[in-house]
């Protein structure tokens, strides 16, 4: 019991923490308007009682139907009705405003936590499911919790007012109304629990269906889908998943509908019994008619208020379950954090970057990606890394840039363990081109500027980086030059070829004034002439930076100062090009295979 109370207190604390971003005054105003709505709802009920009583008392043929008492009761009824409608409109506006504010804040918080999360976050389907659940509940749920709580409060006040009127007619009616409300509450809670369990299970099915839909409708796979006739197969798989999802949802709706029908039948029987008691207890026909009219109004109000109270209470239970998942996601903390006393980065490098006996495995993976790797990247040197597919080259880059932490070994910058630096400041020491580099739907200038947002986008560094990457002439020839939108996703833009995109990515890596340049297959999509142009006078292009170049094309890196050969997650050879060829080992075999006959 104590655990449940603590859970509810934590739930409300988290919700109120989010709602404070929606302006405290606005939340207070929403609360006040909701209470006033309930008060005027009760006032209208009693005004109707006065009106019906006045009409019943003056129901004889000789009485004036428009006497002062009746007109006052009629005016009171119309006034409470009008004011209630105005308050309802005001409340709807305020709740909508609050909902929009909270939705934006929560979405921003989800994005902030996702960006701050470790890269390992994206290696697990469980984390993707958590992200999808957070997105699903994050947009509206926090504001809905308060809305549901206010609806419950308003409905409870109205229900109490209707109960007072019903007791005034005949107290024996009240137990039947209470039984109907309790049964409705039980059905709502059971249905909510069923729906929550199904939605928790369906998240992965929804993601798979969304992925299939994206495959069928996206441009990226359009050529292969048509060439290999994959459309029908993918659509059948999509339809199968949607059939499964729909069938489960329909089954839950059927259970809910049948149970609600039974409750409606019970409520109808309660009303008939109540009408009989009121009619038979009245001293005369006029009183019976008056009592029946008031019963209809009070019963309708009680039924509507009771149903709203039960539904809002059910939704609060539903919200607690779903928001628990949101808060669970928002509680995720990165393991790579700024140390309590971060060491300052060295102003000038003497030793450079050194990896010693690095062992690394991806989360939930049984196979090690790196096994005792040692590598040195001295200041101002051109170092090459070669190896076959799956040898661990890309994993080495991620560990070197501290996107992951190795399980064993040490990476040091000028003798200082990189874990002692601020990870963001440390990563700024690198300009990197990944194999799967980003192709952002922005202008060419913005695509390059993303390499270092601290530098001006219109400074001389922009053109210099593009020239170093061989991208300047390509971008200058575009309709709007550097300000041409790349990718026709949101605007009329210019589509680039794979090789042209690769040069833009290279320019993005050259743009920062970093100390290390890491190029992972930087010319895989370019022609030999473009590759030659990039590596021609490569050391001059580096300036005082160090470079680690990963390439399958050994002809492009034969002039490196030092070369490491990676195979199966291990460094199997290292040395200068001439020494490695003379050793006639793994490097020699790869080099000979690429040499023309």
What's residue 355's pLDDT? 94
Asked whether residue 148 carries a pLDDT value surpassing 50, the answer given is yes
Asked whether residue 61 carries a pLDDT value surpassing 50, the answer given is no
Which of 332, 333, 325, 331 minimizes the C-alpha distance to 142? 325
Most confident of the ranges 17-26, 58-67, 149-158, 367-376 = 367-376
Most confident of the ranges 25-34, 121-130, 176-185 = 25-34
Query: For residue 537, how many other CB atoms are within 10 A of its CB?
Result: 9
Instruction: Please state, in angstroms and rounded to a whole number, the distance separating the CA atoms of residues 376 and 548.
Output: 10
Backbone angles phi, psi at 463, to 5 degrees: -65, -35
Q: Which residues of 425-451 are buried (b: 16+ CB within 10 A; e: fewer)?
A: ebebbbbbbbeebeebebbbbbbbbeb
Which of 384, 369, 360 minimizes the C-alpha distance to 547? 384
- CATH class of this structure's domain 438-513: alpha beta
**What digits encode the pLDDT tens for the residues 340-359?**
899 999 988 899 999 999 99
**What digits encode the pLDDT tens for the residues 221-252?**
777 787 777 888 888 988 988 888 888 888 88
DSSP string, 133-198: HHHHHHTTHHHHHHHHHHHHHHHHHHHHHHHHHHHHH-TTHHHHHHHHHHHHHHHHHHHHHHHHHH
Asked whether residue 410 carries a pLDDT value surpassing 60, the answer given is yes
Task: State mean pLDDT over 405-409.
Answer: 92
Instruction: Please state, in angstroms and rounded to a whole number, the distance separating the CA atoms of residues 524 and 235.
Output: 34
What's residue 19's pLDDT? 64
Q: Which residues of 104-141 are buried (b: 16+ CB within 10 A; e: fewer)?
A: ebbeebbeebbeebbebbeeeeebebbbbbbbbbbbbb
- Tracing tokens 């040069």 back to the chain, one arrives at 503
What's residue 2's pLDDT? 67
Asked whether residue 431 carries a pLDDT value surpassing 80, the answer given is yes
Of the ranges 279-283, 338-342, 345-349, 399-403, which one carries the lowest mean pLDDT score? 279-283
What's residue 5's pLDDT? 65
Of the ranges 104-108, 168-172, 392-396, 516-520, which one carries the lowest mean pLDDT score? 168-172
Task: State mean pLDDT over 567-596.
Answer: 87
Asked whether residue 422 carries a pLDDT value surpassing 90, the answer given is yes
**What digits encode the pLDDT tens for the residues 452-510?**
888 898 888 999 999 988 889 999 999 899 999 887 766 677 888 888 888 999 999 99
What's residue 51's pLDDT? 75
Asked whether residue 366 carries a pLDDT value surpassing 70, the answer given is yes
Tell me which fold the domain 2-330 belongs to. Answer: ABC transporter transmembrane region fold (1.20.1560)
The residue with greater pLDDT, 10 or 334, is 334
What's residue 418's pLDDT? 94
Instruction: Please state, in angstroms and rounded to a whole number, the distance separating the CA atoms of residues 241 and 205.
Output: 7
The residue with greater pLDDT, 313 or 406, is 406
* Sequence spans of domains, the chain: 2-330, 438-513
Task: State mean pLDDT over 160-170.
Answer: 75
pTM: 0.69
Asked whether residue 191 carries a pLDDT value surpassing 60, the answer given is yes
Residue 284: pLDDT band (50, 70, 90) is low
**What digits encode the pLDDT tens for the residues 2-54?**
666 676 677 667 666 666 666 678 878 888 888 888 788 777 777 777 777 67
Residue 564: pLDDT band (50, 70, 90) is very high
């Amino acid at each position: 019991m104590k655990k449940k109370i603590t859970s509810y207190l934590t739930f409300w604390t988290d919700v109120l923490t989010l709602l404070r971003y929606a302006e405290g005054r606005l939340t207070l105003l929403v609360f006040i308007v909701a209470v006033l709505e309930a008060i005027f709802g009760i006032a209208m009920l009693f005004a109707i009682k006065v009106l019906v009583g006045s009409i019943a008392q003056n129901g004889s043929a000789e009485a004036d139907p428009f006497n002062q008492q009746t007109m006052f009761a009629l005016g009171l009824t119309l006034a409470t009705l009008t004011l209630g409608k105005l308050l309802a409109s005001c409340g709807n506006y305020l709740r909508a405003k609050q909902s929009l504010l909270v939705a934006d804040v929560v979405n921003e918080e989800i994005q902030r936590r996702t960006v701050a999360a470790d890269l390992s976050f994206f290696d697990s389907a469980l984390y993707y499911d958590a992200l999808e659940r957070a997105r699903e509940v994050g947009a509206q749920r926090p504001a809905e919790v308060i809305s549901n709580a206010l609806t419950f409060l308003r409905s409870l006040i109205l229900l109490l007012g209707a109960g007072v009127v019903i007791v005034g007619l005949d107290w024996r009616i009240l137990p039947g109304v209470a039984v109907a409300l309790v049964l409705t509450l039980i059905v709502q809670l059971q249905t909510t629990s069923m729906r929550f369990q199904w939605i928790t299970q369906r998240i992965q099915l929804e993601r798979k269906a969304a992925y299939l839909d994206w495959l069928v409708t996206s441009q990226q796979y359009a050529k292969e889908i048509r060439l290999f006739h994959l459309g029908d197969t993918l659509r059948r798989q999509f339809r199968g998943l949607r059939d499964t999802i729909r069938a489960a949802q329909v089954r839950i709706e059927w259970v809910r509908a049948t149970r609600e029908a039974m409750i409606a039948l019970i409520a109808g029987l309660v009303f008939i019994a109540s009408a009989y008691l009121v009619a038979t207890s009245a001293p005369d026909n006029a009183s019976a008619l008056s009592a029946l009219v008031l019963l209809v109004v009070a019963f309708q109000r009680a039924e509507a208020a009771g149903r709203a109270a039960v539904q809002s209470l059910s939704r609060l239970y539903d919200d607690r379950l779903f928001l628990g998942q949101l808060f669970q996601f928002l509680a995720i903390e990165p393991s790579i954090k700024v140390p309590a006393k971060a060491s300052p980065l060295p102003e000038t490098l003497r030793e450079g970057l050194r990896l010693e006996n690095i062992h690394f495995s991806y989360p939930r993976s049984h196979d090690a990606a790196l096994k005792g790797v040692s590598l040195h990247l001295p200041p101002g040197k051109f170092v090459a890394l070669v190896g076959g597919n799956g040898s661990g080259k890309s994993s080495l880059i991620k560990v070197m840039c501290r996107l992951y932490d190795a399980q064993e070994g040490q990476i040091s910058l000028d003798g200082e363990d990189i874990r002692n630096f601020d990870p963001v400041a440390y990563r700024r020491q690198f300009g990197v081109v990944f194999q799967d580099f980003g192709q952002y739907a922005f202008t060419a200038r913005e695509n390059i500027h993303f390499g270092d947002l601290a530098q001006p986008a219109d400074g001389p560094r922009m053109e210099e980086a593009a020239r170093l990457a061989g991208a300047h002439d390509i971008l200058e020839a575009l309709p709007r030059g550097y300000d041409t939108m790349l990718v026709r996703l949101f605007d009329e833009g210019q589509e680039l070829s794979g090789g042209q995109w690769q040069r833009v990515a290279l320019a993005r890596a050259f743009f920062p004034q970093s100390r290390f340049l890491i190029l992972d297959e930087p010319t895989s999509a370019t022609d030999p002439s473009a590759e030659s142009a990039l590596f021609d006078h490569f050391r001059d292009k580096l300036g005082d930076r160090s470079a680690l170049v990963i390439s399958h094309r050994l002809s492009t890196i034969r002039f490196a100062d030092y070369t490491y050969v990676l195979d199966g997650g291990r460094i199997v050879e290292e040395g200068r090009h001439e020494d490695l060829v003379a050793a006639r080992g793994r490097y020699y075999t790869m080099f000979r295979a690429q040499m023309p006959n």
